[in-house]
Amino acid sequence: MVKLLENTFRAVNIGLVNEIAQMCGRLDIDVWEVIEAAKTKPFGFMPFYPGPGLGGHCIPIDPFYLSWKARQSGFECRFIELAGQVNSSMPEYVVERVASALNARKKPVNGSRVHLFGMAYKKDVGDVRESPALDILELLKRRGATVSYSDPFVPSLDNDGHGPSHDLRHVEPRDTIGKVDCYVICTDHSQFEWKAIVESGTPIVDTRNALRGFESASIVPLTGAAIAPQLV
């Protein structure tokens, strides 16, 4: 029960900040700036950060196990279930950001080439269990996009029992420049070097705030203003 509480605490707080992120998207506010400012409060605030969704073997699963167990005793965990719904909605939210970025370049998702950075569920590991990047990949493919990825920790996405097989292989980031219509940063591995990607001018949907410090009209943050429409 202690372990379930700890993981549920994180899942609920991540759900809260993910909902705030989606709200900030509507209000055209940079959620990362909001969090950084809130962190200046000397007490009473613990920073959690939004992202493309939850992954791993514990945090996405344990709260639902706890809710299921409680339901057996006639107790409904409404708070936990709601946080789960918010977190589960993030991959679709990211795909909508991709669609907006492509639309600004007068391109539909259908037929576009979208490249994902990072398939593992968190930074600098090779674990893809419950990774939101897999959901983003699947949603993009359903919309007709041609999807590729780079992840030095995940050389292939063959069926390993943790999700559907996509028969894809890791592509070196430098080999994608000028060959894709949109990038998505799903996992910000330390090995990734962003300078050439940013300078390529290709739209980049940054779900991890990995490009903080870079200035480019092609960067599409998780929240806030997307890139302006390109005049052709």
pLDDT in tens, 185-221: 999 999 999 999 999 999 999 999 999 999 999 999 9
The larger pLDDT score, comparing residue 122 to residue 42, is at 122
77 belongs to the catalytic site: no
On the CB side of 22, CA atoms within 13 Å amount to 18
| Closest listed residue to residue 182, CA positions, set 199, 169, 167, 201 | 201
CA atoms of 232 and 212, how far apart (whole Å): 28
Is the pLDDT at 6 greater than 90? The verdict is yes
What class has domain 90-221?
Answer: alpha beta
pLDDT in tens, 44-68: 899 999 999 999 888 888 888 899 9
Q: What is the pTM of this model?
A: 0.90
Is the pLDDT at 20 greater than 90? The verdict is yes
The confidence score (pLDDT) of residue 164 equals: 57
Active-site residue, selected from the candidate residues 58, 77, 182, 186: 58
The larger pLDDT score, comparing residue 33 to residue 165, is at 33
Mean pLDDT, residues 131-136: 96
2-88 and 90-221 share one fold: no
Query: pLDDT category, 226, cuts 50, 70, 90?
Result: low
pLDDT, averaged across the chain = 91
Give 100's contacts (C-beta < 8 A, 6+ positions apart): 220, 226
The confidence score (pLDDT) of residue 159 equals: 58
Which token pair is 134? 């897999």
Q: Are 186 and 93 in contact (CB under 8 A)?
A: no
Q: Are 63 and 8 in contact (CB under 8 A)?
A: yes
The confidence score (pLDDT) of residue 209 equals: 96
CA atoms of 162 and 126, how far apart (whole Å): 12
Is the pLDDT at 43 greater than 80? The verdict is yes
The confidence score (pLDDT) of residue 228 equals: 47
Q: Where are the domains of the chain?
A: 2-88, 90-221
**Which sign does the torsion angle of CA 53, 57, 59, 60 carry?**
positive
Helices (H) and strands (E) in the chain, counts: 7, 5
pLDDT in tens, 89-108: 999 999 999 999 999 999 99
The larger pLDDT score, comparing residue 225 to residue 61, is at 61
CA distances from 64 to 99, 102, 136, 196 (A): 31, 35, 21, 41
Compute how many other C-beta atoms are within 10 angstroms of the C-beta atom of residue 107: 17
CATH homologous superfamily for the domain 2-88: N-(1-d-carboxylethyl)-l-norvaline Dehydrogenase; domain 2 (1.10.1040.10)
Mean pLDDT, residues 145-163: 83
